[in-house]
Structure formats: C-alpha cells, structure tokens
Structure 1
Amino acid sequence: TPKPDLTSDVKAAALTGNSVTLTCTLNLSSAGWKFYWIKDTQSTETYTHSYTFTPVRVSDGGQYKCRARRGNPVYYTHYSDALWVNVIEYPKAVVSIKPDNHVFRGERVTLRCDIRGGGDTEWTYSWNKNNKTLYPDRTTQECNFSPVTIDNGGKYTCRGRRSSDSQSLEISDALTLTVSDTAEPVVRVSPLSWLTEGDSVTLSCEVKHSSTGWTFSWYTDVPYRDSQGSLRYRTALLSDSSRGSGGSYTLSPVTLNHTGVYMCRAERGEPVFHTQHSKPRPLCVTGESPPVSLIISPSRTQHFTADSLSLSCEDQRDSTGWTVRGYTHSETLYSCSSVSGSTCNISSLSTSHTGVYWCQSESGGRSHSLNITVHNGDVILESPVHPVTEGNPLTLHCLYRNTTISDSGADFYKDDSVLQKQTTGEMTISSVSKSDEGFYHCTHPERGESPKSWVSVRASQSVLKLLSSVVAASPYMLVTIILAVKCYRAR
C-alpha cells in the first residue's frame, strides 16, 4: 500500500494573515484520487492533492496527516507521516522617527522600521510615503534624510517581508513627519519680568512645536568699543550658561546688574543642529540706590505720537560711558539714532517706541528701568515716572492732544474702577500709601480714554532708617522690625 508524502510551502512558523498550502504527494497516477486531510479527530476531503489556508489563523495550527482513496470498492493509501503546522500572530511593523516627529529644515532625520515580535528573523523592508512606494526593497531598517527638506514631510508607513520565505507583514500604522522651515526658540519669564533686588526669577526656553532632545544655551548683550571707539553691543554666551542646559535658567537673588535682555538658543542631533537665537526678553530689576538715573523729558510715562522725547543717563559723579538701552513692545532692542553724550533724543515719537528703557554702562552697571507708552489717540495720563514715597502727595493729569478742546473734566480710574470724577482734569491723593499702588488711567467725555500706567509706591526713608538703625543696634529684633514695617505699609 502506497504512503503519501505531506509537505508545506512554509518551512518556518506561518504568520497569521498569510496563506499556507499543504501538499499530499503520491508516486502513483494522479487520476481519480480523493484526498483526506486529518487534524486531530477532524477530517476534510478535497479532489485535489493540495489544501490551502488563506488567510491562515492561529487556530489552523496543529498536527496534520493526509491519505488518498479511489475506486469502488474503495482503495485507501496509508496515512502520511504527521506534519506539524505552526501558526503565530504576525509581528507588527512600527515606524519611529528621530529626533522628533516635528523637525526643521537642515536637521538629520532617521526613520526606522522595527518588527515587534519578529525575534531574530531576517527581514527586508519596504517604505511608503503618502500611500506611494518610496523604497520597495531594503535590507536595512533605517531611512535617513540629511539634511531634511520641506518636501520630505508626509505620512510614512513600512512593512517587513521575511527573507526565508517572503511572507509579508501588514503595513504599519502611518506616522507623520512634519518639517518646518525655521526652529524658533522662545524665552518665558516666571514669575515676572519686573523684579526687586533679592527676588528670584526663572527664565525658561522652549522650541515652538517641538520638545524632544534639545539642550539650551543662554545669552545676553554685552558692550564693546568698535574700531572708531563707539560703544556697541553684541550677543554673548553667559559664563554660567550650562546651568540652563535643561531649558531653565534661574537667577537668585537678582541684583540691579541683572537688568538687561536675555536670549536662548537650542541644539540637538548628530551632527549638531542649532536654532537661531530667540527674540530678546527683558529683565527689569529695581534697587535702593542705582549708580545712575534715567531722566525722561517731558517727565511722564505716556506721550503722544509725533511729540519729541529726551532720555538721559545722569550720574552725580560722571555720566560718561553710559548709554540708553530699550526693549520695545515689538520684541526688538531699541538703538537710538540721535545720541549726544549720554542723552538719546527722539524728534518724533511713534507707537513703535513703546517699551521699557534703562541706562547701561560698559562695566555692566544698570539704572532702574522705566516704561514709556506712546499713544496715537487724543488722551494721555500724566503720572510720575519714578516711584512715589509713602506719605507724599500724588497728582495725576489728563492731557489732551488738542489743547483747544474745551475742558469738560475727566474721570480717573484705578485698576478699572472709578476713583474720582474731576471737572479740572486733575486729581490728587494728598498722602499715598502702599494700597494706592496700581494701574491708573483717565477718560474724557469727548476725546476718549488714555492708556494705563503703573504707579509704584515705596516705603518712606524714615521707616527704612528706623529699620537699619534698630537692626544695627540689636540684630535679634530683626523679625519684630520686619513685622512692624509690614503693618506700617498695610495701613
């Protein structure tokens, strides 16, 4: 009695989703035979010597035998030797992108196709972009773009094919590579950009739309003399920049000399890809006795467009070597075009001059910073440029661009609440306290509303002198004195 030979077209474990064909071969004439396929106690009959599972499932795995029969009376062959069919869940192809899914023109980008659950099997790889074949047959898992261009952006998929028998996996899920033109780092300040000596502040740097793999460097602008001896400024790496490589740079405690502008830059990858510098971000620190004062003429924080303005650095000892620095609301550093000594003259103001200004020396000295607002409307508020001392009077005026307009009085507001209604366009607080600190503005019934200005109130010198003298005499009373000052300022 003949014995058939049972074989499979898949030599290794079959992968679900593919097909497996079993063949029952007889060394006899093939005419008239029917074939039985036996798995466990179940059997299936076919009129052909092959049996195909498509798509094959894990439940199709097991031990198989075959035999054939023909004629009447029926003639049976022997059973074939048993054949084990092993079916496993197909490994999954997964796409990953380094350094990030969102990259920038000029970076080196690596796409990788990993076969999860593929073991030590050898694979070949094919890549698709936006559902079109990109690379049909590669022996390496990785696909590199160096440098990456805008055109390289798109949805990428890959699939693996087993080298031993060409069984293919399903296509991976799509992963989108986004390529932007320019990497833009941004500096943020917490808690505030306006500080008092002794405070702590943290600057943080992040790259818009991307957060993976960056390290950061920190910069400020420093003065230097050009070949003609003129004072200029350049961007320089902070000496302790490495403290902020993780994206946060902390100053604690701040001093007056920390006033200035700060920038960051990010890098990642191999070879290293550098972003441009961030836009400058100002830090403004106030102290008790700066070495120089910024004097504004006319002496007010708000000004009309087309008016003239003078900013001067005045030092009781020597005002040479000081320059006026500015940071405008358009996030740019201001460079004065008309300079006379340590004075900056602006002949015609525009709203682009709105910003914060200070004096800076070659040696790194700083003045207090002052806000200047340039308004294109018809009403501005005249308020003190410098802090008002507790106990002193505070006078505010509502000024009008066209002084020929009849004065119908003005309403004055503090923190958006009506404070006083005056027929004279002027209001006075006879003795200010810390509670009077806040944002003030005025409105005119015909001409409109002024911008808001911050009025700062500082402790009186008598309290400060009392504190210093008592602490010098008895340091152990420090806590008591501090509490007394807090109570005084809260009156």
Structure 2
Amino acid sequence: MRLASGLLCVLVSAVSAQSSSDGSSPHHVQRRDAKPQSNYTGVIGTKLQAFPTWFVSAGSDVTIHCKAHTDRKKYGDKVYLHLAWTDMRPGNRTKKIVASRPASAGITYELNPVTHEHQGVYTCDDNGSLPEVYVLDWHSMLWVEDAPPKASMDVLSHNRSQFFSNEAFTLGCQLPDDNAPWKMMRFNDWTGTVTECPGQVSSDHRLSSTITPVHLDSYILYWCENPAGDRSNSLNISIASVATVVLESPPLPVMEGEDVMLRCFQRDKKTKEISFSFHTSYYKNNRLIDNRFGRGPFDQEGNFTLRAVTKADEGVYKCEMPEAGDSFDSWLSVKARPVEESKKKSR
C-alpha cells in the first residue's frame, strides 16, 4: 500500500541497552544497576554477553553468558537465572527456556556452530520463585547474517547510526523486484520485543520511515523482512539522551582502500544546539588513536580521517569531548574489494 510521503514513524518506547562488541556499554551497566522504586528486599542485576559478537555468520561459534553482576544482599544461591530463546521468524515468535542455573553460578551456553535456526532474541531473567527479589532482565538479539541479503537497509538522511533523542532521521530499505509484502521491523532490547515500525512509506521498490526517537540512551535494531523469511541487512541505531555526544561514522561496511572520516558532535543540555570541537579524542577498541600511526590526521574541525582503510582498521570506535563525555560505540566494518576491481586499481 502506498502511503503519503513524509509520514513520521514516532517511536515512543521503553529505554533499552543493546550489548556492544564486549557485551555492554558503561551507560547501560549503570542504568541496569538502578534500584526499582518498590519495597523489594533485594535486587539482582543481570548481564547478557555473546562472544565474539551478537552479529555472526552461519558456521561461527558463539558462547552466550547470562550472569548476575549485582547482588548486594547475596540472593544468588536462591534465585535461578533462566536463559530463554525467542524465535524471530515471521509468524513464529515461540519462546523456550534453553538453560537454567543459580544466579551465583551464572549460565554459559554454547552454539557450535551457529545456524539460522539459532537466531532470535535471548533473554537473561529469573524464574520468579522469589517475588521479593527484583531481577532486572536483559535482552539481546543474535543476528545470523544472510549472504547476500535480499534487500538493502541504510540511513538515508545522515552518514551515521548515532542520534540524539528528538533528532529526526530517515531509514530506507531498497527492495528486490518482487511482489512480496516487505515490512520494516525493529527490535527493542529493553522489552525484548520485535515489532513492525509504523508509518512506513512505500515507493518504487523502497520502504522508508522518518523516525523521531523519544527515549533514554538506547540501541534499537532495524531491518526489513517478508513473510517468507527473506531479510535485509540490519542497522543498529543508538540514541543518546542522557549522553550528550554522538559519533559520525559509516553505518554500512566500507570498501578497502577508501578514506573514512570520523566526526564527533555534542549537544548542549540547555540550548539543544549541536556542535563539534577541535578538542576531540578518538578511540578504537578502547585505545586512543594516536597521530604517531600516521594514517589518521586531525583536520581543523577536529575530524579524524582513516586513510585507505584495510581490514586492520575494522573495529569498535568512539569519541570523547572534554567535559561533554564520550559517545556510544560504533562498529566500523571493512569489506574486501572484489578481485577484478583490485587488479584494475593496481595497474
């Protein structure tokens, strides 16, 4: 169905906290430690991690850890943690418990090797046997990549995947030339739910949606799918509300040999004005990027450029501004240049 262009998809959702490559972000651990406003005798905070990452290819080995990282009243021997799996395939959102152990011991669950049957939403929670103890649950999605995906998802309005709350951005999904009823979907990792994004505009084999997020610091996963289970690539969008800094970096994989510019923005808490500063530090895999490497000079605006990137430049990047703090993590993916194209460049 064709809808009027410019229709807003306004997402008013619960706060979420998506795991990054190391399983968490400092913003998220702090929020999940927050004690609920009720008369509970104890609070247990959970943490859900996957190694190497939550985004894998079929055939990879993945280990999922469900554990308690906060248990001040020592209820861990009495409370059992459940690791639950929910199928994410269209029309088949079934849920089942895959492992259960005392919170003090934690759960280690191995998928060796991963198949498309393993993908879905994993939840670290308790069994509810001690209602006087509040257990903060944790949700993450295991995404098994399709090679190649049937549709292509991208950020149309910006060259980044990090945004401030109430900052509008537009997502687009280029669809194949078929008659399948494709839909744009989202995963909220605070609630652990997969829902259709409302307000989608369909035109010329493309879905688009303009989104104005209204929630606290969060990550939300977006993709397109059809009833047969065909999917696009996924986009992990982070929203900064409590945080006041975002990083601009390519949301999709870049080709080897290309230059990649990183840029850091901050938003004033009072005026909401967005600006950048020369006094910015950039990090890769939590290590400060130093000019001594000679491949990423700063320019006059404080941007940082990675020259002629290779697979060695692939990793987790973030930026930091004095007094404003640091951004979320962003994964920079570098894909190999096709052999024929590489031969032409070398001539």
TM-score with structure 1 setting the length: 0.44
Tell me the residue number matched to 1:457. 334
Q: Is the 8 A contact 2:186 2:197 kept in 1?
A: no
Q: Is the 8 A contact 1:301 1:372 kept in 2?
A: yes
The alignment's C-alpha RMSD in Å is 4.6
Tell me the residue number matched to 2:29. none
Asked if residue 219 in structure 1 is aligned to residue 86 in structure 2, the reply is yes
Asked if residue 365 in structure 1 is aligned to residue 216 in structure 2, the reply is no
Partner AA of 1:220 in structure 2? D
* Alpha-carbon distance in 2 for matches of 1:184, 1:428: 39
* Alpha-carbon distance in 1 for matches of 2:298, 2:197: 42
Tell me the residue number matched to 2:302. 425
Give the secondary structure class of the aligned counterpart of 2:339. helix
Q: Is the 8 A contact 1:218 1:265 kept in 2?
A: no
Q: 1:429/1:418 Cα in 2 relative to 1: closer, same or farther (>3 Å)? A: closer
Shift of 1:295: 1.9
Asked if residue 284 in structure 1 is aligned to residue 143 in structure 2, the reply is yes
Asked if residue 294 in structure 1 is aligned to residue 153 in structure 2, the reply is yes
Among 311, 336, 356, which residue is 2:221 paired with?
356
1:46-65 CA deviation, whole Å, 9 max, x = no partner?
xxxxxxxxxxxxxxxxxxxx
Tell me the residue number matched to 1:316. 176
Tell me the residue number matched to 1:414. 283
Tell me the residue number matched to 1:194. 55
Q: Is the 8 A contact 2:185 2:225 kept in 1?
A: yes
Q: Mind listing any 5+ residue stretches in structure 2 that lack a counterpart?
A: 1-40, 69-74, 102-106, 130-134, 291-296
Among 441, 455, 461, which residue is 2:318 paired with?
441
Among 191, 198, 201, which residue is 1:338 paired with?
198
* Alpha-carbon distance in 1 for matches of 2:162, 2:47: 29
Q: Is the 8 A contact 1:284 1:368 kept in 2?
A: no
TM-score with structure 2 setting the length: 0.59
Q: Is the 8 A contact 2:184 2:224 kept in 1?
A: yes
1:243-292 CA deviation, whole Å, 9 max, x = no partner?
x699776444334675431348998x9xxxxxx9x754311233541122
Query: Which is richer in strand?
Result: 1
Give the secondary structure class of the aligned counterpart of 2:280. strand
* Alpha-carbon distance in 1 for matches of 2:277, 2:66: 50
Partner AA of 1:197 in structure 2? A
Shift of 1:435: 1.8
Identity %: 29
Q: Is the 8 A contact 1:411 1:421 kept in 2?
A: no
Once structures 1 and 2 are overlaid, which stretch shifts more, 333-342 or 365-374?
Answer: 333-342
Tell me the residue number matched to 1:374. 239
Q: Is the 8 A contact 2:266 2:275 kept in 1?
A: no
Partner AA of 1:360 in structure 2? E
Partner AA of 1:371 in structure 2? N
* Alpha-carbon distance in 2 for matches of 1:453, 1:408: 19
Q: Is the 8 A contact 1:189 1:203 kept in 2?
A: yes
Shift of 1:431: 0.4
* Alpha-carbon distance in 1 for matches of 2:111, 2:307: 38
Q: 1:425/1:212 Cα in 2 relative to 1: closer, same or farther (>3 Å)? A: closer
Shift of 1:307: 0.7
Q: Is the 8 A contact 1:285 1:368 kept in 2?
A: no
Shift of 1:191: 4.5
Q: Is the 8 A contact 1:186 1:279 kept in 2?
A: yes
1:132-152 CA deviation, whole Å, 9 max, x = no partner?
xxxxxxxxxxxxxxxxxxxxx
Among 358, 371, 386, which residue is 2:252 paired with?
386
* Alpha-carbon distance in 1 for matches of 2:177, 2:237: 26
Aligned residue runs from structure 1 range 54-453, under 5 A: 189-203=50-64, 209-210=76-77, 218-224=85-91, 234-237=93-96, 250-255=110-115, 258-263=118-123, 280-299=139-158, 300-318=160-178, 320-328=181-189, 330=190, 332-333=192-193, 335=195, 338-340=198-200, 342-376=207-241, 377-401=243-267, 408-415=277-284, 416-419=287-290, 420-444=297-321, 449-453=326-330
Shift of 1:453: 1.9
* Alpha-carbon distance in 1 for matches of 2:57, 2:162: 23
Q: 1:367/1:395 Cα in 2 relative to 1: closer, same or farther (>3 Å)? A: same
Give the secondary structure class of the aligned counterpart of 2:232. coil
* Alpha-carbon distance in 1 for matches of 2:266, 2:48: 38
Q: Is the 8 A contact 1:218 1:264 kept in 2?
A: no
Q: Is the 8 A contact 2:224 2:232 kept in 1?
A: yes
Q: Looking at CA atoms only, which structure, 1 or 2, has the larger radius of gyration?
A: 1
* Alpha-carbon distance in 1 for matches of 2:275, 2:140: 43
Q: Is the 8 A contact 2:319 2:327 kept in 1?
A: yes
* Alpha-carbon distance in 2 for matches of 1:252, 1:289: 22
* Alpha-carbon distance in 2 for matches of 1:206, 1:388: 35
Higher RCO (CA < 8 A, seq sep 6+):
2
